[in-house]
Amino acid sequence: MELNVDGTIHVVDVEADMPLLWVLRDELKLKGTKYGCGAGLCGACTVHIKGEAVRSCSISAGDAQNAPITTINGLGTPAARHAVQAAWIEHQVAQCGYCQSGQIMTAAAFLAKTPNPTDAEIDDAMSGNLCRCGTYPRIRAAVKAAATTLSGN
């Protein structure tokens, strides 16, 4: 089957029901997308499919065909950072950092649709992503900063 990931078409030979997460990690070797819970509970594996934030552990490769998929590795790079990534760096959000790929992907999809979010909307949008280190105060601040940057552009 063909998957369009970060602007590249990949041909993979996998079961249609293999979760997209494991195709990304073990077949395409794109390791920025993390395995946390495997059950859609933590959000560490969040990617964008047609711009929507999706838990890649809970969507099959078969269902992810024929749609552009963006992972954290395609959102931006250390040299060319997405505004959300830049805000995450400026606010030094990460502690262990393991959840942050998913946090950033959720925030980027959210801000694309909600350019001027209220505090309550931010809390609502980001509460599906678990952070065991407790970086929530900095996540809030970084989302607000990214919103300002993005709406100013």
Partner 1 sequence: MDTATTPEPSSPKTRSKARTIGRRAFLVSSVVIAGGVAFGYYTVKKPHLNPLRDQLGPDEATFNPWVKISPKGITLITPHADIGQGVASMQAALIAEEMDLDFGQFEISQGTPSAAYYNTALAGETVPFLRNDHGIVAESVRTIADAMVKVMGMQSTGGSSSTIDSFVKLRTAGAVARETLKEAAFKRTGIPVRDLRTASGAVILPDATKIPYTQLAGDAAKLSPVTDVVLRDPSQWRLIGKKMERLDIVPKSTGTLTYGIDLDFKGMLYAAVKVSPRIGAARLGYDASKAKAMRGVKAILEIPNGVAVIADNTWRAFQAADAITFTWGKAPYPPDQDAHWAEVGRSFTKERLDKEWRHEGDVDRALSGAKVIEAEYRAPYVAHQPLEPLSAVIKVTDGRADLWTASQAPGIAQQKAAEVTGLPLENVHVYNQYAGGSFGHRLEFDHVKLAAEIGRQMKGQVIKMTFSREEDFTHDYPRQIAMARPRGTVKNGRVETCDLHIAAVSAARSYMSRLGTSIPGADLMLAAGAWDLPYKIPNFRVTTYAVPELAPVSSWRSVGPSTSAFFADCFLDELIHAAGADPMEERLRLTDDPEARRVLETVARMSNWGSSLGPNRGRGVAFATTLGTPVAEVVEVWNTPDGIQIEKVYVAAEVGRIVDPVNFENHVQGGVVWGLGHAMNCEITYADGMIQQPNYHVHEAMRLRQCPEIIVKGIETSAEIRGIGEPPVPPAAPALANAIFAATGKRIREMPFNKHINFV
Residues making contact with partner 1 (CB under 8 A) = 14-15, 18-19, 21-22, 25-27, 29, 31-39, 41-42, 44, 71-73, 75-78, 81, 85, 88-89, 92-101, 104, 123-124, 126-140
**Shortest distance (Å) from residue 66 CB to partner 1:** 21
Q: Is the Cβ of residue 25 or residue 49 nearer to partner 1 in the bound state?
A: 25
**Shortest distance (Å) from residue 128 CB to partner 1:** 8
Q: Is the Cβ of residue 65 or residue 90 nearer to partner 1 in the bound state?
A: 90
**Shortest distance (Å) from residue 115 CB to partner 1:** 20
Backbone angles phi, psi at 68, to 5 degrees: -65, 130
H or E element that contains 54: strand 52-55
**Shortest distance (Å) from residue 74 CB to partner 1:** 9
Alpha-carbon distance values, 11 to 30, 63, 133, 136, 139 (Å):
14, 15, 37, 38, 36
Distance CA 149, CA 112 (A): 12
Q: Is the Cβ of residue 65 or residue 98 nearer to partner 1 in the bound state?
A: 98
Q: Which residues pair with 53 in a beta bridge?
A: 48
H or E element that contains 53: strand 52-55
